[in-house]
């Protein structure tokens, strides 16, 4: 099951100068002050560094180092602010080779490492069939070599499997007074 994928984190700066961070910078532990009720002077968003990403992953969360820009939001004294995060589940179709276990993009039909591919096998003439005959009316797939003598169905030998890689990309919603800010920490892949 997919978990939130962090590429950025927030820091709340209180009016007295103290800072509350989403992740502890020394341990990478999630601190979770989303529902902080007190006054806030600033909210900063930082990119996750390689070291912090390593610490976060050690705490069983998913994080990736990024070079996203620092974002700063000033909050006037007495102004209300609300911060929460949402996740977007993205599915990326992938393939896996049953022989060498290589994973590759779904638009590639042949394993790039060992050149395995899904094939059709005819038990009657004991051959692999490159281009089988497809009968959509009878919903059969047959061997073109045996078609004239003994028409029989053929069997697919499945070497390449398909699956979807799941990632939950996190984005933040920051409401300051009547303004709403959406802070994305990802870009969509094709």
Are 77 and 125 in a shared domain? Answer: no
Q: How far apart are CA 66 and CA 47, in angstroms?
A: 6
Q: How far apart are CA 3 and CA 97, in angstroms?
A: 25
Establish if 135 belongs to a structural domain.
yes
Are 138 and 50 in a shared domain? Answer: no
Are 130 and 141 in a shared domain? Answer: yes
Are 83 and 102 in a shared domain? Answer: no
Extended beta strands in 56-159, E state = 62-63, 71-74, 81-97, 103-105, 119-122, 127-129, 133-135, 140-142, 155-157
Are 134 and 170 in a shared domain? Answer: no
Establish if 71 belongs to a structural domain.
yes
Establish if 136 belongs to a structural domain.
yes
Domain count, the chain: 2
85 CB-contact burial (10 Å; exposed 0-12 / middle 13-18 / buried 19+) = middle
**pLDDT at residue 43 in the model:** 94
**pLDDT at residue 1 in the model:** 55
Are 66 and 152 in a shared domain? Answer: no
What is the mean pLDDT, run by run of 10 residues, along the chain of 190 residues? 80 93 92 79 94 94 90 92 85 93 92 92 87 85 84 85 85 91 68
Q: Give this prediction's pTM.
A: 0.63
Both tokens assigned to 19 = 């800072």
Residue 38: domain span: 4-91+166-184
Are 109 and 82 in a shared domain? Answer: no
Which residue in this structure is represented by tokens 């020394």?
Answer: 26
Establish if 146 belongs to a structural domain.
yes
**pLDDT at residue 11 in the model:** 94
Both tokens assigned to 156 = 């697919």
Are 77 and 124 in a shared domain? Answer: no
Establish if 116 belongs to a structural domain.
yes
* Cβ–Cβ under 8 Å, residues 152 and 124: yes
């Amino acid at each position: 099951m997919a978990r939130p994928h962090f590429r950025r984190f927030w820091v709340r700066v209180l009016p007295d100068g103290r800072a509350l961070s989403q992740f502890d910078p020394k341990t990478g532990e999630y601190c979770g002050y989303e529902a902080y009720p007190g006054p806030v002077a600033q909210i900063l968003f930082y990119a996750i560094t390689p070291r912090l990403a390593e610490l976060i992953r050690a705490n069983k969360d998913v994080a990736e180092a990024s070079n996203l820009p620092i974002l700063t939001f000033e909050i006037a004294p007495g102004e209300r602010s609300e911060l929460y995060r949402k996740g977007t589940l993205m599915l990326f179709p992938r393939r896996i080779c049953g022989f060498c276990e290589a994973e590759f993009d779904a638009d590639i039909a042949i394993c790039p490492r060992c050149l395995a591919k899904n094939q059709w096998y005819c038990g009657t003439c004991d051959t692999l069939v490159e281009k089988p005959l497809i009968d959509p009316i009878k919903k059969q797939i047959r061997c073109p070599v045996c078609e004239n003598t003994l028409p029989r169905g053929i069997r697919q030998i499945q070497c390449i499997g398909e699956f979807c890689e799941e990632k939950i990309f996190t984005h933040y919603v920051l409401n300051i007074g009547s303004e709403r800010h959406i802070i994305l920490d990802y870009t969509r892949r094709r």
